[in-house]
């Protein structure tokens, strides 16, 4: 059982997750570009 | 809990390497006997700090992860507009940085940092291993080197997820998934360095390679560089981030890359052999586990009286 995170731990964890999701969108864009433009 | 042969061997090796006293040895043995056989019961009941309980990565490894993480993303962000320089979105991006020449300079500078990180990492693992060998504490099972066990673990884990096995396999410090990921990254880095350097220093590569192959090599590298980059990006975005951010039990983030520590729950679930070593190396961990077992009434009762009873019964029957 993992204890709940404190407020600041949650801030760090969710910020990091948000960053990762933004970069995933970039990843999807990269796939789109490579498929569309060819390499 | 009755330990499997391999778990017993890991425990014995760890106790021998750490020169554990007779008293501690008895304490560890007595504790393990009282552990419930169901590891799910064990890891769901232990108290874990979300940011980690048990040491896993040194400051060097954490620093290398941080450097790789920053350089990887920067290289991906600058590499794409260099490759597709005349796309509608690439032009504003490049001019924002000061023109494509600047984007290329940034890309190459960051690449140098990435190469430095790889060298730093190779030095860390080489010296770390040498120190462990010198201290008599090296155990190949505790390293990232793939072993036959990983193949069996992979099979057993699939069986577990298909509900054809009731426990996950007992895995070591680095499980099969981590080993695959690590060597994929090592291979990817090598491809990127070789192909990238062939763009920057074609004449050096041409002087090294046989004349007949030099031009062919350039063509091959020109193809490999963007494709390997895309492959790496896919692995990071859809596999690595799933494993460390989105997977149940890890959401919203696994803290190991910052704190260097793993939660007790995760260690017991996926790296039980390493947890056995923790019991040997960290005496406080033994006390903590014992207290938890007692407070949750999970202590496995010794089987001896029951066996005695059955034996008497059988004899009586005859």
pLDDT tens profile B225-235: 999 998 998 88
> Higher model confidence: residue B296 or residue B52?
B52
Q: At CA B28, angle to CA B24 and CA B31, rounded to 5?
A: 135
Collect all residues of chain A within an 8 Å Cβ-Cβ radius of residue B252: 10, 13-14, 16-17
pLDDT of residue B307: 53
Mutate one of A6, A24, A38 to test the B interface: name it (highest B CB count within 10 A). A24
- B274 and B234, same domain (yes or no): no
Contact B252 A3 (CB under 8 A): no
Contact A33 B84 (CB under 8 A): yes
B17 with B136: CB under 8 angstroms? Answer: yes
Most confidently modeled range among B34-48, B266-280, B304-318:
B266-280
**pLDDT over threshold 70, residue B302:** no
Residue B73 to residue A26: CA distance in whole angstroms? 10
> Taking the model in full, what pTM does it have?
0.89
Residue from the list B83, B87, B237 with its beta carbon closest to the beta carbon of A39: B83
Asked if the structure places residue B76 within a domain, the reply is no
Q: What is the pLDDT of residues B32-71, one digit of tens each?
A: 999 998 899 999 999 999 999 999 999 999 999 999 999 9
The single residue listed with the structure tokens 């009731």 is: B166
How many contacts (CB atoms, under 8 Å) link A and B? 68
Q: What is the pLDDT of residues B98-136, one digit of tens each?
A: 999 999 999 999 999 999 999 999 999 999 999 999 999
pLDDT of residue B16: 96
B189 with B235: CB under 8 angstroms? Answer: no
- B201 and B246, same domain (yes or no): yes
**pLDDT over threshold 70, residue B272:** yes
Partners of B48 in the beta sheet? A2
Collect all residues of chain A within an 8 Å Cβ-Cβ radius of residue B44: 1
Query: Which parts of chain A sit beneath pLDDT 70?
Result: 38-39
Tokens of B308: 């005695």
Number of domains in chain B: 2
Q: Where are the domains of chain A?
A: 8-39
Range B123-152 average pLDDT = 97
* Nearest CA distance, B46 vs chain A (angstrom): 6
* Nearest CA distance, B306 vs chain A (angstrom): 32
Collect all residues of chain B within an 8 Å Cβ-Cβ radius of residue A31: 230, 234
- B279 and B234, same domain (yes or no): no
Residue B287 to residue B50: CA distance in whole angstroms? 20
B226, B253, B280: which is the final residue of a domain?
Answer: B253
* Nearest CA distance, B265 vs chain A (angstrom): 7
Q: Is the peptide bond before B67 cis (omega within 30 degrees of 0)?
A: no
DSSP code per residue over B8-44: HHHHHHHHHHTT--HHHHHHHHHHHHTS-S-HHHHHH
Range B84-91 average pLDDT = 90
**Residue B318 belongs to what domain range?**
1-53+266-318
Mean of the per-residue pLDDT values of chain B: 92
pLDDT of residue B1: 87
Asked if the structure places residue B130 within a domain, the reply is no
pLDDT of residue A27: 85
pLDDT of residue B298: 82
């Amino acid at each position: 059982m993992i204890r709940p995170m404190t407020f600041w731990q949650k801030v760090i964890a969710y910020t990091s997750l948000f960053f990762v999701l933004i970069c995933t969108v970039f990843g999807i864009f990269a796939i789109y570009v490579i498929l569309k433009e060819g390499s | 809990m009755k330990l499997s042969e391999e778990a017993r061997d890991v425990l014995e090796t760890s106790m021998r390497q750490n020169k554990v006293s007779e008293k501690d040895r008895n304490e560890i043995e007595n504790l393990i006997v009282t552990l419930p056989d169901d590891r799910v019961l064990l890891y769901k009941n232990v108290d874990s700090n979300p940011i980690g309980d048990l040491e896993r990565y040194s400051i060097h490894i954490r620093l290398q992860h941080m450097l790789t993480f920053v350089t990887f993303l920067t290289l991906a962000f600058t590499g794409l507009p260099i490759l597709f320089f005349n796309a509608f979105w690439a032009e504003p991006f490049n001019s924002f940085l000061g023109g494509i020449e600047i984007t290329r300079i940034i890309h190459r500078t960051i690449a140098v940092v990435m190469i430095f990180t790889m060298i730093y990492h190779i030095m860390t693992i080489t010296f770390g291993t040498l120190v462990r060998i010198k201290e008599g504490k090296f155990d190949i099972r505790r390293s990232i080197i793939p072993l036959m066990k990983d193949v069996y673990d992979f099979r057993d884990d699939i069986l577990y997820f298909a509900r054809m096995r009731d426990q996950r396999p007992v895995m070591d410090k680095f499980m099969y998934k981590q080993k695959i990921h690590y060597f994929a990254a090592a291979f990817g880095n090598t491809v990127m360095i070789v192909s990238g350097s062939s763009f920057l220093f074609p004449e050096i590569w041409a002087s090294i390679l046989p004349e007949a192959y030099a031009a062919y090599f350039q063509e091959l590298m020109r193809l490999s560089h963007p494709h390997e980059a895309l492959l790496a990006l896919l692995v990071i975005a859809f596999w690595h981030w799933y494993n460390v951010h989105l997977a149940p039990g890890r959401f919203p983030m696994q803290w190991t890359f910052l704190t260097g520590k793993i939660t007790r729950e995760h260690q017991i679930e996926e790296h039980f052999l390493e947890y056995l070593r923790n019991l040997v190396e960290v005496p406080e961990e033994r006390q903590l586990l014992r207290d938890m077992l007692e407070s949750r009434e999970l202590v496995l009762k010794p089987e001896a009286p029951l066996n005695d009873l059955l034996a008497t019964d059988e004899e009586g029957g005859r």
